[in-house]
């Protein structure tokens, strides 16, 4: 049996965590020796734990399980392996076992964690997409937890902009949680990213596993960006972990009246970096100078809906021309048709509700707007909502090719 | 020593004429009732005997036989007391023979001889009038509903002695003693009569903002579509639903008769009320039992779905209703009637109603306001899943009500019920013309096969629908619903063809989407 399988066996032992493994290895030297130690284990772990291990050994077929895992294309790494991520090795407590589906994060590339609330707002959605996309385009690996909301959106945007992204899960790497991100999970693997976890394959998600997941998210990144978080949020656990690990934390400012921005605003007060544009983070990552080399030209995002056929364009919409005008009245957060109507009428455009609805539906079908709950509308693409001045928001990036 | 009296008994929504035959013959003194009498009818003998005694008439020790003909159908209800008593009096020759010929007699007796209110007088009187009977003797408290039957002269009596006094007299004297009452039902339904005077009635002009919900209500009323209003607490969902009857066209005579008959059978017609002249609006609490909603009991009676016939059944807090209760609405929404089978028989009651539901969009009620709502998609999904798919499939219109800001509130209401009702009536007129002789009444009645014919689309519209079908991920059924609603919108605008703008607007009314995880 190879040493690797012994290590795998060691990591799977019940009631033996990273700390116990450290102690065992200090006493016995290698995983193989631990396995052969037999009665000796009692000295380190105590009688009960040792008995449990004996019990476990009678049922657990380590080579079989390892074989099975390899068939699932899941790799297993310990700090002894040369491939083991250097960033994790530097942690105060490097996780002994790391399971990986797909590739490991590239060592030479800068990595940023983009994290935030699961139930995010429209604003959070646009910001996550802008930063995820912008950073990824500049060659930064995006590390996140593949959760609903900010995490998943940022990773999705990273993929759409052709960059790599890595998801750290709080369950086995073969368990897709949350299920709604199934397509993202697949896409990460297809596009050269990876799914990582410190929990063995098949482990179901559980509340207690997420802090450890968050520690790894922070550990794999060079800095952490918080897009949207409530005052009491799981996201802030990741932030604490990152600060403990000595990493810089950035937060996207929000309005004081938005509860979903409270967490970010408080972080800023406590001294977090203020992220107004992806370039703020790129400077921190010291790669701004190399941007040209990394390709400054903006690529068309792959996820954008195909343009409608030119022939059908003119006649499939009733009132032409007005639609573009209407886009001005839409925001990143859903606005009800009644509110839009009032705003439109307030701006001196004479329009009745049925007409307005027809126009809005037209915009939705062109992919410029989207709707929620039937009669609430919002922008599908928020990139032009960011400020025009260079240096703020996503537009700073878009303008750069022209100025160069 | 033999007499025959005509009376009526209710079967489901119809009534049948029953002949009460009474014979007195020498033999062991007893009171025998034959002809499938139900329990209440069997008890009738005892009430008649004592009521007669207390009215000063002692029954002779004779063998009294009562037959209810036709004998093969089961008789239920308490309306047989008075005809039996009159029959006995005629057979005893205390009343002149033939004094009750050509007359319908119904009523319940108290032990003191009082004549009490009964259920089902209106359908009884209608059936009798159709059979050519022109006069009826009914409890005083039911006299107006009996008079509402076309061509019926109704005489109301309040005690047995009064009834005897009336029957003893002949022709002219009778009318002087108790003048018969007649009612012209058409006059009752004239706008002046149903018009609202006095206290301020609910009206749509009292609602500030909520333009899109009002618009949805208008469309629902025009095409008799079922409507679901979603919105945060306090956004006026209930207010709008309560104002829906004010924009529906008034009941026609035929409709009023149907509705009034149901109310009469359920015993819910007021004393002074001849006919139900306003569209019913029922809003049962969410704890309503399935039986109360569907109708039931050992001998089935109409339930809330039938009492809302031709009107509105408003279910506030829709997800709070038990799933079992809601699923019961499937048959009425599909067939416009409800079939109830109990040990006492199987009956079919009409239930052509407009379902209006109101609900919160999520458990806390504030979605999509992210500052207040922290419900996860899972929570929202499980909340919405209280309403089963088959019910939702039958709701054509679904709209989200939003909180109205204060500035808008101060501006006051918009369009009033009057002008909205005029629009509805225009749209209804178009539908009547289009569907003449087809049995279809409203756009909402259209079946999939008929859509092709009545909701034909031009080439441009066809292309738009195709695009919607693809981009909005519509199901075939949702597509049909969209067409029906578009048809109604076109009718409201007075357009013969469905245009692109109609289709686009119709697609808005699909607020009920299951959250995508």
In the predicted model, what is the mean pLDDT of chain B?
A: 89
Answer yes or no: is pLDDT of B513 > 70: no
Q: Is A351 on the interface with B (CB under 8 A)?
A: no
Q: Which residue has the higher pLDDT, B448 or A239?
A: A239
Residues of A in contact with B463 (CB under 8 A): 312, 316
Contact (CB<8Å) B471/A339: no
Q: Residues B16-57: pLDDT tens digits?
A: 999 999 999 999 999 999 999 988 899 999 999 999 999 999
Q: What local confidence, expressed as pLDDT, does residue A306 receive?
A: 41
Contact (CB<8Å) A374/B464: no
Q: Which residue has the higher pLDDT, B187 or A91?
A: A91
Residues of B in contact with A372 (CB under 8 A): 368
CA A212 to chain centre: 15
Six-digit token pair at A289?
């100078």
Residue in A312, A365, A375 nearest the CB of B471:
A365
Q: Which residue has the higher pLDDT, B512 or A312?
A: B512
Contact (CB<8Å) B399/A334: no
pLDDT band, very low/low/confident/very high, at B98 (cuts 50, 70, 90): confident
Answer yes or no: is pLDDT of A105 > 60: yes
Domain boundaries, chain A: 1-67, 111-291, 310-380
Contact (CB<8Å) A354/B505: yes
Residue in A259, A339, A359 nearest the CB of B371:
A259
Contact (CB<8Å) B368/A372: yes
Q: Residues B294-352: pLDDT tens digits?
A: 987 777 789 999 999 999 999 999 999 998 899 999 999 988 999 988 877 788 999 99
Q: Would B2-186 and B226-395 be classified into the same CATH topology?
A: no
Six-digit token pair at B330?
């499937």
pLDDT band, very low/low/confident/very high, at A370 (cuts 50, 70, 90): confident
CB A32, CB A3: distance < 8 Å: yes
Angstroms from B14 CA to nearest CA on chain A: 44
| B83 to B9, B18, B115, B125: CA distances (angstroms) | 12, 10, 11, 14
Q: Residues B365-383: pLDDT tens digits?
A: 888 777 888 888 888 888 8
Q: What local confidence, expressed as pLDDT, does residue B153 receive?
A: 93
CATH architecture, range A310-380: Orthogonal Bundle (1.10)
CA A125 to chain centre: 12
Q: What local confidence, expressed as pLDDT, does residue B436 receive?
A: 92
Residues of A in contact with B510 (CB under 8 A): 374
Pick the CATH number of A1-67 from 2.60.40, 1.10.150, 1.10.3470, 1.10.720: 1.10.150
| A194 to A99, A107, B315: CA distances (angstroms) | 10, 13, 50
Domain boundaries, chain B: 2-186, 226-395
Mean pLDDT, to the nearest integer, of B213-241?
Answer: 91
Contact (CB<8Å) B376/A312: no
Q: What pTM value is reported for the model?
A: 0.82
Kindly indicate whether the domain formed by B2-186 is annotated with CATH number 3.30.230.10: yes
pLDDT band, very low/low/confident/very high, at A293 (cuts 50, 70, 90): very low
The CATH fold of domain B226-395: Rossmann fold (3.40.50)
Answer yes or no: is pLDDT of A401 > 50: no
Mean pLDDT, to the nearest integer, of A64-93?
Answer: 94
Q: Which residue has the higher pLDDT, A299 or A387?
A: A387
Q: Is A314 on the interface with B (CB under 8 A)?
A: no
Contact (CB<8Å) B460/A257: no
Q: What local confidence, expressed as pLDDT, does residue A289 receive?
A: 47
**What is the arrangement of strands in the sheet containing A376-379, beginning at the earlier edge strand?**
A335-336, A376-379, A369-372
| B499 to A261, A355, B196, B493, B505: CA distances (angstroms) | 44, 12, 38, 10, 10
Residues of B in contact with A263 (CB under 8 A): none
- For A305, name the nearest residue in chain B, comparing CA atoms only: B471
CB A261, CB B370: distance < 8 Å: no
Q: Is A255 on the interface with B (CB under 8 A)?
A: no
Mean pLDDT, to the nearest integer, of B118-123?
Answer: 93
Q: Residues B467-497: pLDDT tens digits?
A: 888 887 778 888 898 999 999 999 999 988 9
Q: What are phi and psi of B503, to 5 degrees?
A: -65, -45
Answer yes or no: is pLDDT of A309 > 60: no
Residues of A in contact with B501 (CB under 8 A): 318, 354-355, 358
Neighbouring C-alpha atoms within 13 Å toward the C-beta of A105 = 30
User: Quick check: helix, strand or coil at residue A356?
Assistant: helix
Listed by number, the residues of chain A in 2-31 with a beta carbon closer than 8 Å to a beta carbon of chain B are none
Q: What local confidence, expressed as pLDDT, does residue A187 receive?
A: 95
Q: What local confidence, expressed as pLDDT, does residue B191 receive?
A: 63
Q: What local confidence, expressed as pLDDT, does residue B25 receive?
A: 92
Smallest Cα–Cα separation from A332: which of A368, A265, A381, A403?
Answer: A381
- For B228, name the nearest residue in chain A, comparing CA atoms only: A374
Kindly indicate whether the domain formed by A111-291 is annotated with CATH number 3.40.50.2300: no
3-state secondary structure B356-418: EEEECCCCCCCCCCCCCCCCCHHHHHHHHCCCCHHHHHCCCEEEEECCCCHHHHHHCCCCCHH
Question: Residue A143: beta bridge partners?
Answer: A113, A166
pLDDT band, very low/low/confident/very high, at A304 (cuts 50, 70, 90): very low
Answer yes or no: is pLDDT of A398 > 90: no
- For A306, name the nearest residue in chain B, comparing CA atoms only: B471
Angstroms from B505 CA to nearest CA on chain A: 5
């Amino acid at each position: 049996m190879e040493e690797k399988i012994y290590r795998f066996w060691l990591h799977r032992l019940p009631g033996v965590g990273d700390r116990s493994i450290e102690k065992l290895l200090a006493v016995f030297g290698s995983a193989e020796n631990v396995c052969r130690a037999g009665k000796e284990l009692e000295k380190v772990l105590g009688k009960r734990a040792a008995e449990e291990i004996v019990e476990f050994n009678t049922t657990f077929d380590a080579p079989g399980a390892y074989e099975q895992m390899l068939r699932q294309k899941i790799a297993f790494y310990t700090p002894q392996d040369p491939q083991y991520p250097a960033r994790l090795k530097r942690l105060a407590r490097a996780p002994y076992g790391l399971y990986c589906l797909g590739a490991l994060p590239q060592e030479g590339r800068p990595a940023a964690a983009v994290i935030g609330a699961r139930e995010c707002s429209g604003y959070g959605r646009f910001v996550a997409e802008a930063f995820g996309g912008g950073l990824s385009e500049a060659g930064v690996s995006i590390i996140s937890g593949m959760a609903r909301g900010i995490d998943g959106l940022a990773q999705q945007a990273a993929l759409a902009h052709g960059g790599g992204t890595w998801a750290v899960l709080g369950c086995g790497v073969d368990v897709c949680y949350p299920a709604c991100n199934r397509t993202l999970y697949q896409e990460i693997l297809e596009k050269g990213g990876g799914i990582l976890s410190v929990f063995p394959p098949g482990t179901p998600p559980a509340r207690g596993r997420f802090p450890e997941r968050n520690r790894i998210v922070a550990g794999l990144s060079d800095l952490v960006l918080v897009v949207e978080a409530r005052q009491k949020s799981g996201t802030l656990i990741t932030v604490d972990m990152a600060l403990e690990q000595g990493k810089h934390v950035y937060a996207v400012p929000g309005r004081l009246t938005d509860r979903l921005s409270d967490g970010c605003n408080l972080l800023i007060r406590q001294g977090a970096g203020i992220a107004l544009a992806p370039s703020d983070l790129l400077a921190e990552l010291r790669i701004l100078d190399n941007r040209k080399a990394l390709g400054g030209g903006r690529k068309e995002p792959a996820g954008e809906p195909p343009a409608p056929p030119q022939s059908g364009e003119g006649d499939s919409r009733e009132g032409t021309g007005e639609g573009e005008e209407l886009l001005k009245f839409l925001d990143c957060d859903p606005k009800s048709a009644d509110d839009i109507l009032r705003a439109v009428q307030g701006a001196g455009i004479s329009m009745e509700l049925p007409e307005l609805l027809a126009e809005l539906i037209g915009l939705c079908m062109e992919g410029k707007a989207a709707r929620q709950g039937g009669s609430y509308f919002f922008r599908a693409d928020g990139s032009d909502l960011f400020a025009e001045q260079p240096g703020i928001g996503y537009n700073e990036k878009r303008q750069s090719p022209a100025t160069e | 020593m033999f007499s025959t009296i005509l009376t009526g008994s209710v079967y489901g929504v119809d009534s049948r004429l029953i002949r009460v035959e009474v014979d007195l013959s020498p033999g062991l003194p007893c009171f025998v009732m034959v002809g499938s009498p139900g329990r209440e009818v069997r008890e009738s003998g005892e009430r008649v005997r004592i009521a007669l005694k207390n009215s000063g008439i002692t029954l002779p020790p004779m063998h009294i036989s009562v037959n209810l003909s036709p004998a093969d159908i089961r008789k239920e209800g308490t309306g047989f007391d008075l005809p039996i008593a009159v029959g006995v009096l005629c057979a005893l020759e205390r009343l002149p023979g033939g004094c009750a010929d050509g007359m319908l007699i119904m009523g319940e007796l108290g032990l003191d001889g009082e004549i009490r209110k009964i259920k089902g007088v209106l359908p009884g009187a209608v059936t009798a009038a159709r059979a050519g009977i022109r006069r009826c003797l009914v409890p005083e408290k039911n006299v107006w509903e009996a008079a509402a039957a076309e061509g019926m002269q109704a005489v109301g009596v309040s005690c047995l002695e009064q009834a005897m006094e009336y029957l003893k007299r002949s022709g002219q004297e009778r009318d002087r003693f108790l003048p018969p009452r007649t009612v012209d039902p058409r006059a009752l339904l004239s706008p002046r009569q149903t018009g609202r005077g006095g206290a301020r009635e609910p009206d749509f002009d009292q609602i500030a903002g909520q333009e899109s919900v009002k618009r949805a209500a208008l469309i629902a009323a025009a095409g008799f579509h079922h409507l679901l209003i979603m919105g945060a607490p306090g956004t006026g969902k209930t207010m709008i639903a309560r104002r829906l009857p004010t924009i529906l066209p008034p009941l026609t005579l035929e409709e009023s008769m149907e509705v009034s008959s149901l109310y009469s059978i359920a015993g819910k017609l007021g004393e002074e009320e001849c006919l139900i002249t306003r569209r019913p609006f029922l809003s049962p609490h969410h704890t309503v039992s399935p039986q109360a909603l569907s109708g039931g009991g050992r001998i089935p009676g109409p339930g809330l779905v039938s009492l809302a016939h031709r009107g509105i059944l408003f279910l506030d807090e829709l997800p709070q209703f038990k799933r079992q209760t809601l699923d019961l609405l499937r048959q009425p929404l599909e067939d416009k009637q409800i079939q109830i089978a109990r040990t006492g028989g199987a009956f079919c009651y009409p239930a052509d109603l407009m379902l209006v539901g109101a609900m919160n969009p999520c458990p806390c009620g504030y979605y999509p306001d992210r500052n207040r709502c922290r419900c996860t998609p899972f929570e929202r999904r499980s909340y919405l899943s209280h309403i089963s798919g088959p019910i939702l499939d039958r709701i054509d219109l679904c709209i989200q009500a939003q909180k109205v800001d204060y500035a808008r509130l101060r501006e006051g209401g918009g369009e009033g019920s009057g002008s909205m009702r005029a629009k509805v009536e225009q749209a209804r007129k178009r539908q009547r013309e289009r569907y003449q002789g087809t049995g279809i009444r409203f756009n909402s009645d259209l079946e999939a096969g008929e859509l092709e014919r009545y909701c034909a689309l031009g080439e441009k519209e066809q292309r738009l629908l195709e695009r919607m079908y693809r981009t909005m991920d519509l199901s075939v059924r949702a597509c049909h619903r969209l067409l029906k609603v578009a048809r109604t919108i076109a009718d409201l605008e007075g357009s013969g063809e469905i245009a692109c703008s109609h289709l686009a607007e119709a697609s808005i009314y699909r607020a009920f989407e299951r959250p995508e995880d």
